[in-house]
Structure 1
Amino acid sequence: MEEKIKLDPASFKPLAKEENLDNEKIAAPSLTFTQDAWRRLKKNKGAVVSLFIILLMVVVAFGSTPFIDNSTLVKSAPQYANLPARVHGLDFINGLNGKMKVGGEWVDIYAQNNATNKYFALGTDYLGRSLAERIIYGTKISLIVALFATFFDLAIGVTYGIVSGWKGGRVDNVMQRIIEVISSVPSLVIVVLMLLVLKPGIGSIVAAIAISSWTTMARMIRAETLQLKSQEYVLAARTLGQSAPKIAWKHLVPNLSSIIIIQTMYTIPSAIFFEAFLSFIGIGISAPETSLGVLMNEGQKNFQFLPYQMWYPAIVLCVLMISFNLLGDGLRDAFDPKTRR
């Protein structure tokens, strides 16, 4: 038998209350679904940068309206036609100091046109109008079209999808056949038909978007509604006698919010490109009004000799579309981490 060792009780003393560390306790701040999604979104640097770029472009496009004289957007000034970019304080940088390479040599175009006191940050077009002002206004038009597309997605697509998924059966079958018929008609054909009723411009583009742009949102909302309507909290609400509109607003819409936000972020660049494409081929917004598509259409005519007239609006359009797409990817990963690849 091993000898038992007796320990002296005096060798032990209890720890003070403040020194009693609980190593098993794991504490973390309580986060709501939105706060947790924002935390994940901030980790996606590309999405955060894209968000700031979009906000900057929105502020510049809409905030500069009071400082831009609308008459200068359409009024020609032939004496300033086809001037390259010239920026204050950058006279040492060729391409931004009013000089352009002609015959292998840099020539001061502003001096040739007796416009040494003028500064055009992005140059002028073939009618002497400020390209920077027209690009800002064109970006505003593109964002307005995107706002209309978002409105129709939310007002028609979300409502249509919830009703279709909630009703089910024969009603759902008929509503989905209607969507298939609308989706089978190309958007370009719808715009051409709208031109028979409306004159070319933002009105015909908005009408085409109102007819066909919401179908993708409706299908996604309908598919998710079919799953949500069998959940326990929805069944409990129905058992308690709540009306269908109240259940949709109180239970379905909050649970569909992630899909709505993500799909909206993909709808916006599609609408922007749709407007630019129609204006570029001449059946959207037409001169003397301006948009990014109109500017690219005008710029490509002189692209061989004055490439900047097409490059600047094309770069703005690309940055705008890429930013919305990257932000959409970031929101998708933030709201539903399971979709992360």
Structure 2
Amino acid sequence: MDIAFYAPLKSPNHPVTSGDRLMARMLVRALEHKGHKVRVVSEFRSFSKDPGTDAWNALNASTQSEVSRISALWGTDSQPDLWFCYHPYYKAPDLIGTKLADAFGLTYVTAESSYAAKRDGGPWAHWQACVRAGLEKAAVNICFTERDRAGLQSAVSDAQTAMLKPFIDTERFAIGPYGQTEPGTKLISVAMMRDGDKFDSYTMLAKALERLPADMSWSLQVIGDGPKAAETKLLFSGLPEDRIDWLGAKSEQEVADLLKRASAYVWPGCGEAYGLAYLEAQAAGLPVVAQNIAGVPEVVVDGVSGMLTPPGDIDAYSAAIAHLLGDDDSRKTLGMAARNFVLNQRSFERAADTLDRILTQALDLKS
């Protein structure tokens, strides 16, 4: 089929690396892998931090211009069969897709829609209403976590949903070794350094490392950069400098190579929708230490591919890290199971098949 792909928060072509951009790119690749024609039809970004009237009016003016531009193109070229909107939510609603789907009779689909009922009133109400309209219009809303699906169905009872578990392309992890050849003392994290949940996770990680036994041997490699880099590094100032290796931003292949040479992946995961980095770490044969919070249990199997500790419990989190540092057998067993979990259940090929089946059914329902 011919698919118009649109991501109102961050286009697959956006210059800034993030999990959101990575998932958008993988969805495009998965669709193309199954033989579909995929067009990223717009770079229009509807994201706004300001819910005020001026911001809303300015966004609507830009929306009309973009709808007119695309309509003109489709008037002289072949129009698509389906509109695929990735990750609309109240700060970045799909303001163009529903209009174009109506005008051209397209099947409308969303993936990873997020709906917070608390935004139904207050300053974000207009924006939220657009998200709800998309959920109601969609032939199917593809959810990546059961948590998200439950949220959509409780807020919009007649919303049609289907599950596509978070996945990654494991090609970069095809060749080992996988964390088994060195002593189990090299910890690693991969995350942007920005305000909010990421900074909260860095804060918790620093405090947990400070509580490790003084005589325990370990080091931490940190991959990532961002606007809070200086403040993030200060969080770890209570630890010996030679324990932390700040590596900055790395390419996807460099990240894969560094993960494969580490021993365990440590990231608390405050507020994580799910976290593709967890799947990448597991594909590299690393056990994960995270919190049992938000969407993390969707990508880490507690006691099988890693250890999930109670939310906010820094002592428990520190103890879990200490356990893996002090028990190479446990670390290796969990690491092998983690790799098998990703290869067998969260592979690109499996996800592409599932996605193809969901969209084929959605198109059939429309026709």
Provide the TM-score with structure 2 as the length reference: 0.22
Looking at both structures, which has the greater relative contact order when contacts are Cα pairs under 8 Å and sequence separation is at least 6?
A: 1
Question: Could you say which structure has the higher strand fraction?
Answer: 2
Larger Rg: 1
Question: Could you say which structure has the higher helix fraction?
Answer: 1
Provide the TM-score with structure 1 as the length reference: 0.23
